[in-house]
């Protein structure tokens, strides 16, 4: 890794933290739980890492421990992503359903 790449990555890291702080300052209490759940589903983005490493190591038909760890990571990350978005959607539908009722 080049130094410039590292500094670029750290810049993105810091700026995204500030972005996160700014994005969700005023949130009504109704949305706290769905927001937490939705944010949690987004943190399942680690699925990208799990996908990449799931591919590297089965080569040659000899999956080592690294490959199995990545495969397990893939399953857990997918549960996080699919479950997280689905459950958030369920909660939001209830709130929306109530709004339509009025």
Partner 1 sequence: MDEAVWDIGYLVASILFIMGLKKLGHPRTAPTGNLYGALGMLVAVVVTIAQMDFGLSNNFILIIAGLAIGGIIGYLMAVRVQMTGMPEMVALFNGFGGAASALVAASEVFRRINENDLPEGLELHVAWTAIGLSALVGWVTLTGSLLAMMKLKGGVEIFGTWYRTPTWGPEWLNYVKGLVLISIVGLLYMTIEEPGNQDYVIAIIALSSILGILFVLPIGGADMPVVVSLLNSLSGIAAAFTGFIIGNNVLIIAGSMVGAAGLILTNIMCKAMNRQLIDVLFKSFGGSDKEQVTRTKVGSDPEEVAMICDGISKCVIIPGYGMAVSQCQHQVREFADILEANGCEVKYGIHPVAGRMPGHMNVLLAEASVPYEKLIEMDDINSEMGECDVAIVVGANDTVNPAARSGEGPLAGMPIIDADKARVVVMVKRSLSVGYAGVDNDLFYEDKTMMLFGDGKKMMTELVSSMKEL
Decide: is 99 part of the binding site for partner 1 (CB under 8 A).
Answer: yes
Verify binding: residue 96, partner 1, rule CB under 8 A: yes
CB of 7 to partner 1, least distance (A): 11
Q: How many residues bind partner 1 (CB under 8 A)?
A: 91
Residues 36-95 interacting with partner 1 (rule: CB under 8 A): 36-61, 64-67, 69-95
Asked whether position 12 contacts partner 1 by CB under 8 A, the answer is yes
Q: CB 62 → partner 1: shortest distance, Å? A: 10
> Which residue bears the tokens 């949130």?
27
**What is the distance between the alpha carbons of residues 79 and 39, in angstroms, rounded to a whole number?**
14
Q: Nearest approach, Cβ of 45 to partner 1 (angstroms)?
A: 4
CA distance 35 to 88: 8
């Amino acid at each position: 890794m080049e130094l410039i790449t590292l500094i670029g990555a750290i810049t993105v890291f810091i700026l995204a933290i500030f972005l996160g702080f700014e994005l969700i300052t005023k949130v009504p209490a109704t949305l706290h739980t769905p927001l937490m759940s939705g944010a949690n589903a987004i943190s399942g983005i680690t699925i990208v890492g799990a996908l990449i490493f799931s591919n590297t190591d089965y080569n040659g038909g000899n999956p080592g421990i690294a490959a199995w760890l990545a495969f397990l990571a893939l399953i857990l990350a997918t549960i996080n992503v699919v479950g997280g978005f689905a459950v958030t959607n369920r909660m939001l539908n209830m709130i929306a359903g109530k709004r339509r009722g009025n």
